[in-house]
């Protein structure tokens, strides 16, 4: 006997960024918490930049416009760290310091 199980994509409902962690409440009641150190742009962002976020794509993506950062909920669930290279991060930090 085969049973068809439909798996829904995890979707974000609420996002909180503290000094050291990223917390994402999902619509199904679970909460994902990840160290902020995994996401350098969030780590270096100001508290105001960290709170200026948007949940897009029906909850599948979290976007920080001020930090030019996008994280997928599926990536968070999989435990994926930022894929940004050190060279890219250094360039971004240099541009920020000019502001």
Cα–Cα distance between 43 and 93 in angstroms, integer? 11
Cα–Cα distance between 66 and 52 in angstroms, integer? 7
Cα–Cα distance between 53 and 64 in angstroms, integer? 5
Q: Which residue ranges make up each domain of the chain?
A: 12-97
Cα–Cα distance between 61 and 75 in angstroms, integer? 9
Q: 0.85 exceeded by the pTM? A: yes
**Residue predicted with more confidence, 4 or 69:** 69
Cα–Cα distance between 50 and 96 in angstroms, integer? 15
Where residue 1 falls among pLDDT bands split at 50, 70, 90? low
Domain 12-97: state its class.
alpha beta
Where residue 3 falls among pLDDT bands split at 50, 70, 90? low
């Amino acid at each position: 006997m085969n049973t068809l199980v439909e798996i829904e994509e995890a979707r974000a409902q609420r996002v909180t960024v503290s000094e050291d962690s990223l917390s994402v409440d999902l619509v199904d009641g679970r909460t994902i918490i990840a160290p902020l150190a995994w996401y350098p742009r969030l780590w270096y962002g100001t508290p105001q930049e960290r709170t200026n976020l948007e949940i897009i794509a029906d909850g599948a993506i979290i976007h920080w416009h001020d930090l030019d950062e996008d994280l997928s909920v599926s990536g968070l669930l999989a435990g994926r760290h930022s894929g940004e290279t050190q060279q890219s991060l250094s360039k971004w930090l240099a541009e920020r310091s000019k502001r």
